[in-house]
Amino acid sequence: MTLSTSWVDGAAGSLFDLDNLPYGVFSTRDDGARRVGVRIGDHVLDLATVAEVGDPASALAAVWRTPSLNAFMAMGPEQWTVARDWITEVLRDELHAERTSPHLHRLDAVELHLPIEIGDYVDFYASLQHASNVGRMFRPDQEPLLPNWKHLPVGYHGRSGTVVPSGTDIVRPCGQRKAPTEDSPTFGPSRRLDIEAELGFVVGVGSTLGQRVGTDAFADHTFGVVGLNDWSARDIQAWEYVPLGPFLGKSFATSISHWVTPLAALDAAWTDLPGQDPEPLDYLRVERRSGLDIEVEVLLNDIVVSRPPYSSMYWSPAQMLAHTTANGASVRTGDLWGSGTISGGEPEQRGSFLELSWGGAEPFTVFGVERSFLEDGDTVTLRYTAPGTSGGRIALGEVTGRVLPAT
């Protein structure tokens, strides 16, 4: 065993070793209180209980005994580092094994919950390939990209109250649908239910109203990342979105992973952006190495149907945060922003079924069956991996959901 692996059974060399350590919120059958845990291998460590053994008055223990990550996230980067160093020590040095082991719970023996009390939720549109593909389908007689797209990260405010944890069933939404060939709209279940494979970013430390967050302050405010599926009803969306943007076609549900991967675990994942032309305005300037090398898999009923590369994203997460506050709007602990659908340049790298089936016109085949939009009973799972700081790979939180019939 090297110094960078854990004594916990099954953790060493796995996707959840000491170079990962994502945070979540869990409860057990014996203790229904929701509290903060950290994942190591296939276990979750009850952080508050272990911290209190060493220091009954531990400030970290106090915030870990709460039912969301918010109080911990609000402590800021210095305490995030203190916590990560302490957890790493406890799970690395076998001296701690005897007193720590009783507070490790097998993942299959705990219930995982929404990890964050979500503040405001913003969703961006940061993939050039996705925006171009959607533009071609939604506005076939115009340029695929609207004139603003390469000058600012386009986004909209979503509904934070319907952000749900991985595993939550998704009821097919009803709404107004009107195909271009129909004279008038009808109300009923969406016929074009879809997913959007995204990454979500979580604000740890809020900002002050009236003060911009510069691109260089990204890590001072951002706690970590989650897997995110922006469920989308394309027929409702296409009819309602002009001129004010997405509304009911998106707001029925957004799923995020149970696990929040701290930025520190992504130190080895930073990579060059694909390139921005024209050069952005000053407040959006970033170092070239502001992109993230994260590989995504989209699974439909356990079959991989797409592999979108996050490294292809045009706008960086630091630019999205800077743009959110460019007008002086403040962000708060627990705010969440989605990257927008991750779509690469190849057909098998598209992060939505709208694109994979080209608006339903070119169905794709899964085990000999033609598929386009989601059917009742379908399960979609998004998986993410990134380079870890120890030279291997880490997994980010996966996000899954099953489609139930409309009610």
CB of 189 to Ca ion, least distance (A): 21
Which part of the chain contacts Ca ion (CB under 5 A), choosing from 196-204, 277-285, 389-397, 399-407?
A: 196-204
Name which of 80 and 121 has its Cβ closer to Ca ion: 121
Q: Using an 8 Å Cβ cutoff, are 345 and 209 in contact?
A: no
CB of 89 to Ca ion, least distance (A): 39
Q: For residue 283, what are the CA distances in angstroms to 152, 201, 222, 247, 327?
A: 10, 20, 18, 29, 11
Q: In angstroms, rounded to a whole number, what is the distance separating the alpha carbons of residues 21 and 39? A: 6
Name which of 46 and 123 has its Cβ closer to Ca ion: 123
Interface map 334-353 toward Ca ion (x if CB under 5 A): --------------------
Which part of the chain contacts Ca ion (CB under 5 A), choosing from 64-72, 91-99, 139-147, 189-197?
A: 189-197
CB of 352 to Ca ion, least distance (A): 9
For residue 365 the two structure tokens come to 């085949």
HSE (side-chain half, CA atoms, 13 Å) at 57: 0
Q: Which residue is nearest to Ca ion (CB)?
A: 230
For residue 306 the two structure tokens come to 């797409």
Name which of 46 and 196 has its Cβ closer to Ca ion: 196
CA dihedral of 59, 64, 65, 66, whole degrees rounded to 10 = 110
Residues in 251-280 at the binding interface with Ca ion, rule: CB under 5 A: none
Name which of 37 and 158 has its Cβ closer to Ca ion: 158
The dihedrals phi and psi of 85, each to the nearest 5 degrees, come to -65, -40
Q: Using an 8 Å Cβ cutoff, are 156 and 244 in contact?
A: no
Q: In angstroms, rounded to a whole number, what is the distance separating the alpha carbons of residues 264 and 27? A: 25
Name which of 255 and 261 has its Cβ closer to Ca ion: 255
CB of 246 to Ca ion, least distance (A): 8
Residues in 133-152 at the binding interface with Ca ion, rule: CB under 5 A: none
- Paired with 124 in beta bridges are 155
Q: In angstroms, rounded to a whole number, what is the distance separating the alpha carbons of residues 97 and 117? A: 32
- The residues that are catalytic are 130
Q: Which one among 52, 230, 335, 378 touches Ca ion, defined by CB under 5 A?
A: 230
Which part of the chain contacts Ca ion (CB under 5 A), choosing from 19-27, 136-144, 225-233, 301-309?
A: 225-233
CB of 303 to Ca ion, least distance (A): 23
Neighbours of 403 (CB within 10 A): 19
Q: Which one among 46, 52, 123, 235 touches Ca ion, defined by CB under 5 A?
A: 123
Q: In angstroms, rounded to a whole number, what is the distance separating the alpha carbons of residues 398 and 259? A: 8
| Residue whose structure tokens are 């210095």 | 78
Name which of 17 and 196 has its Cβ closer to Ca ion: 196
Which part of the chain contacts Ca ion (CB under 5 A), choosing from 145-153, 193-201, 254-262, 282-290?
A: 193-201
Q: Which one among 196, 240, 335, 398 touches Ca ion, defined by CB under 5 A?
A: 196
Closest CA to 256 of 34, 13, 22: 22
CB of 125 to Ca ion, least distance (A): 7
Q: In angstroms, rounded to a whole number, what is the distance separating the alpha carbons of residues 341 and 360? A: 18
Q: What is the DSSP string of 52-103?
A: HHH-TT-HHHHHHTSSSSHHHHHT-HHHHHHHHHHHHHHHH-GGGHHHHGGG
Kindly state whether residue 240 participates in binding Ca ion, applying the rule CB under 5 A.
no
Number of residues that bind Ca ion (CB under 5 A): 3
Q: In angstroms, rounded to a whole number, what is the distance separating the alpha carbons of residues 381 and 207? A: 33
CB of 55 to Ca ion, least distance (A): 43
Which part of the chain contacts Ca ion (CB under 5 A), choosing from 60-68, 108-116, 190-198, 281-289?
A: 190-198
Name which of 52 and 230 has its Cβ closer to Ca ion: 230
Q: Which residues form the interface with Ca ion (CB under 5 A)?
A: 123, 196, 230
